[in-house]
Structure formats: C-alpha cells, structure tokens
Amino acid sequence: MASVARSFSRIASQSAPRSSCSSSLRTATSFNARRALARQTFQPSSRRGYASGSSGGSSTTPYILGILGLAGAGGAYFYFNNGGLTQLKEGSSGESRGVFTPSKEDYQKVYNLIASRLEEKDDYDDGSYGPVIVRLAWHCSGTYDKDTNTGGSNGATMRFAPEGDHGANAGLKAARDFLEPVKQKFPWITYSDLWTLAGVCAIQEMQGPTVPWRPGRTDRDVTMCTPDGRLPDGAKEQSHLRAIFGRMGFDDREIVALSGAHALGRCHTDRSGFDGPWSFSPTVVSNDYFRLLLGEKWSFKKWDGPKQYQDVATKSLMMLPTDMALIKDKEFRKHVERYAKDDQAFFSEFRDVLVKLLELGVPFQSKPEDRMTLKPTASE
C-alpha cells in the first residue's frame, strides 16, 4: 500500500502546474486534487518508536573480536578495507591470498537488497524507512569541517556512543539497524560506503533524481568521533544555517537545495521535540516543500513543545524556524521561489549538492568521473 500511495503521489506531482508559487497554489484545481489524494493515502503515524539509544561500542566490539578469532582458526576467513580495495584471505595457513575489488555489479547487488528491504519493511513512519535512511546518510556526512578536514561520511563514527548519542542523531539507530542485515550479507562493504549508498538508494526509490555515487570510504575507530553541535538546530534561523553549512563549504543556493529533503519524513517529540510532517506525501521526493512554504499560510502552533509553525488550513503540517528562515531571507527566498516553480531545476541541483555532501572529506583513490549510476528498482 505504501508503494502504491507513493506512485499516485508522484503522478499527481508531475501533472501539477509549476508556473506560480503564490497563494493561488492552494486554489488551483490540480493542486487541490493532489492534496486530496495525498490526504486519503497519508495517515499520520502514531508510531513514535526508535527513540535515541546508545549505538555504543558494544555492537562493534564483539564484531571485531569475532573477526580476530576467526582469523586465528584453521580454515579462517577475514577481510579488511583499504581505500575501497577489499583484500580477502581465506583458507588455512599456506593457501593463496586472493584480492577482490568490487565491481559496479557488486554494488548494484547491495543497492538491490536495500531497495528490496525498503519495499518489504513498511512498518515504519508513514510506511517507509526511506526518509530515516536519507537522514542517516545526511547526518553521517554533515559533520564535515573544511577548516580542519575532519568529520564527514568517511569513518561511520556514528557507530560509537559519543557521536551516536548526539541529540541531532536521535532515532537514527533505527536506520543503522535496518541496514545491518545488508552489511552481514555483503561484509566486504564498509559501513561508510553502505550508509551513503543507502541514502542514494532511498532517494531514487522514493522517485527522486538519479544520484551518481562512488565507493572508497573507510571505517574508523571511536577516536575519530566528531564533537556535538556540527549539525543544524531546527530552532534557529538564517545566520545559524549559514554558519553550519558554510563550515562544510556550501553556499546559499546549495543550502536551500539540501533543505528540499524536508519534503520527506517527519519530526518526533521523543527525538527533536518537534512534531509532524512537512508535506502531505512524506515518502515521495518532490518540490512540495518549497510549494507549501510559499503557498500555505503558517502560524505558530499552540502547544507545550518547542516553537514550530503549522499550516492554517489543515493544522496537519509543520515547519521549523529554520524552514521559515528560507522565505524570510531574500537571498534564500529567491531559490525557494525558483524550486517551487521548477521541479526539474530542484531535482538537478539537489542531485549535485547531495553528491557533494556525501563526498565531503573522503580521500578517494578514484576520480569524480569514476562515479557510478545504480539502477533504481522502482523503474522496473
């Protein structure tokens, strides 16, 4: 049912007019039809599970000890990663060592298993793990600091408690646990590559743009965890956004493009403290976030939680102060207006900035032209 709802929502999105981003959006026949369809297919989830929990070193330590134990046994098999090249040793002492370099077909198999699990496991928010997988890929990458060349997706240090327990990462244990069977099936892939590849898969399977990707990240230990405070705080405004994203090397246009991912998913009171979805179709990649920012009227939500906005018409959608900052600031707003009018411009620029985000700080041995495009199963 979740996949059917996503398909209908995407079809409606493609047929909706893109020529205006004024308040007439709410009165346009096609947009009303789209919103009516979305309301029928989207039911706000009452599930508030997967609260922040320690990802801890406990899940990693037995794994390392297990590898060392196997390596010392007769007929042992173990592996290690080095800059994207996976070397395999197998058999007892004296047997030859083979070198396995994963091909595009190998990564396609990993992609396909992630996509299959996204289709089968529909017991998460709004019927899909897709949005929380995107959030995992974004949060493991968004810790990058260009001045110190620390953080970023290289390392997968969210596996350890210091970083996994940061407030901004609350709830992401659900995404990491979702991907663990994939890691067990394909032990040669690093967590760093797996999490970013999963983010690409989720975007494509939720009918977003095709996103080029390349492997080459290595997993690092707990000493490489980044300090808290490197990810955005939704309670703040434009100066905070420019400081956080500027530290990573993004300009105003790129900040707005990345913010378009808020068309996906929802906030939870037991994680960020905020509550609700940004759009009526929270499992479909679209430019609805920008259309709704401009086309709906927003007011402060009256409740005991942190400051957030709700749409006046239905009171079922929310926006954060950082979201509203995009239309209050004239430099940000011009990009919001452009993306609201042209979903293809949004898709193209979102794709490019997502590629940049996922590669921040990674010491690739490969070249940008070596990026691969993996085939979405949603198109089959």
Residue 60: both structure tokens together:
């990693």
Q: Catalytic residues, which ones? A: 139, 278
Contact 347, 209 (CB under 8 A): yes
Question: How many whole angstroms from its chain centre is CA 371?
Answer: 19
Contact 183, 211 (CB under 8 A): no
